[in-house]
Amino acid sequence: MASTKAKKQKLSKKHEAQAAPKVPQALAPETGAALFEDARSRLEAVFGALNIHPDAQARLMQPSLSLQVSVPIRMDDGSLKAFPAWRIQYDTSLGPAKGGVRFHPNVNQHEVTTLSFWMAVKCAVVGLPYGGGKGGVQVDAKALSSLERERLARGYIRAIADVMGPDRDIPAPDVNTDAQVMGWMIDEYEHIVRAQAPAAITGKPLALGGSPGRVEATGRGALKVLDLWAEREERTPEETTIAVQGFGKAAYHFARLASQRGYKVVAVSDTSGAIYSADGLNIDSAKKDKNKHGKLADSKLGKTLSGDKLLSLDVDILVLAALENQIHSENVDNVKAGVILEIANGPLTSSADEALSKRDIPVLPDVLANTGGVIVSYFEWLQNRSGEKWLEEEVNKRLDSLLDQEASRVLTRAEKDKVTYRQAAYRQGIERIAEAIMARGNCQNCR
Ligand code: GLU
């Protein structure tokens, strides 16, 4: 009896200790707010330059739906934790909302809103019949066990199921989520709707209707955009050096495919630091080392550098493939690269973007350079809806030809309008969204 009491006391003590769990450190609210203000100022600049109808302007200044939820999950130690999470649909004039779900401790409402806005712009830039959406859970996913991650993925879908679906809002992978997470999510969704609904989520495992080529698609698309730019500049891969910030899915496949193509990838980094070799790195060996040690900095393949040092390397192309706000007013003057290629979403603050443009350093922007992922998500959705299965060569061919057409249009427009590539991409995207908004009629309340 006494021992049961003692046990109970111990248990309730344990629960007391857990009553105030350490809340993951979110971005300071003003940091997140600044991100969205930045995005809106880019939007206003486009309104100023083009003849966008005031009705469309009004619609585009804020998201059309913001859902904040709490996702409670049972941890492996028996305790319960509730994670704040969001799904945001920025605009759905062109089609269902489309965009990934990230698991990250810094996720907050402003960040997810900004990311959903960028999704709306990028889908329109490459002419997909989609609006923009994004989701996020504020969690340190690396600290979760696999079963905890599965419960979190399923709990998230239960919380947002009412606003998603193949014709409403279609989640996909993003930072710290992958095909396996999408597999758990689609299974949960199909249990809720009691039907097969593979087109409700993209980036799924192949066995559940995922598309061949989806995992590599973001890196492949970024390389295609770089190739199109290099061709215009009459520059060959062999004479071009590249440093890559990041070594996640998009960064790794980009670096691998770029070195196969003949570019000299001299540096890559992860959160532990960077490795550098002037003669070019063997990307497959770097990946093996990363898998073995967990950290790139422990690899002996090249000289070890700090992550900051990588950003200031004297290379032809600096590829930013980690997170947002990596180059800002404090470190932009250290950049020595000739060109920036953005694979991450929003890796430059708008002040850094302006500073680079003053120094005539071209930026191939996120809303064009990282569209490969969502383009192949679109191909996955098409296959799921028609019941077709395409071969990887077919997927890659379609990705290349779509980017040939749409990315070339952006590069040409930048020359013609004498604006940066980012401004040209925003003009192409916002024009298309505004046209759809206006085509839907402008009598919002006449029903
Ligand atoms: N998360 C990726 C992005 O930011 C892909 C989104 C998708 O496939 O829907 O573009």
Do 234 and 352 have their domain in common?
Answer: yes
Secondary structure of the chain: what % helix, strand, coil (to 5)? 50, 15, 30
pLDDT in tens, 110-168: 999 999 999 999 999 999 999 999 999 999 999 999 999 999 999 999 999 999 999 99
Verify that 199 and 240 share a domain, yes or no.
no
Options 81, 134, 300, 397, the catalytic residue = 134
| pLDDT score for 447 | 57
Alpha carbon distance 33, 351 (integer Å): 15
Are 196 and 103 in the same domain?
yes
Is this structure's pTM higher than 0.75?
A: yes
Q: Tell me which residues of the chain have a pLDDT lower than 70.
A: 1-31, 442-447
Phi, psi of 266 (to 5 degrees): -95, -20
Residue nearest (by alpha carbon) to ligand 1 atom 8: 374
- How far apart CA 66 and CA 97 sit, in angstroms, is 12
Based on the structure, what is the number of domains in the chain? 2
Position 164 in a domain: yes
Which residue segment(s) compose the domain that 29 sits in? 17-208
Binding-site residues from annotation: 98, 122, 218, 377
Are residues 157 and 245 located together in one domain of the fold?
no
Binding site for substrate, residues? Answer: 98, 122, 377
CB half-sphere exposure, 243, CA atoms < 13 A: 30
Helices (H), 262-391: 283-293, 307-311, 350-358, 366-369, 372-386
Q: What residues line ligand 1, using a CB cutoff of 6 Å?
A: 98-100, 172, 174, 202-203, 345, 370, 373-374, 377
Give yes or no: 336 in active site.
no
Residues 54 and 85 in one domain: yes
Q: pLDDT digits over 18-47, tens only? A: 443 343 334 444 467 888 988 888 899 899
Last residue of a domain, one of 331, 364, 397: 364
Do 136 and 34 belong together in one domain?
A: yes
Give the domain-ending residue among 180, 208, 236: 208
Hey, which of 174, 176, 376 would you mutate to test ligand 1's pocket, going by the most ligand atoms within 8 Å of its Cβ? 174
Q: Quick one: 111 and 204 in the same domain?
A: yes
Pairing relation of β-strands 303-305 and 273-276?
Answer: antiparallel
Same-domain check for residues 154 and 226: no
Q: What angle do CA 352, 134, 181 make, to 5 degrees?
A: 115
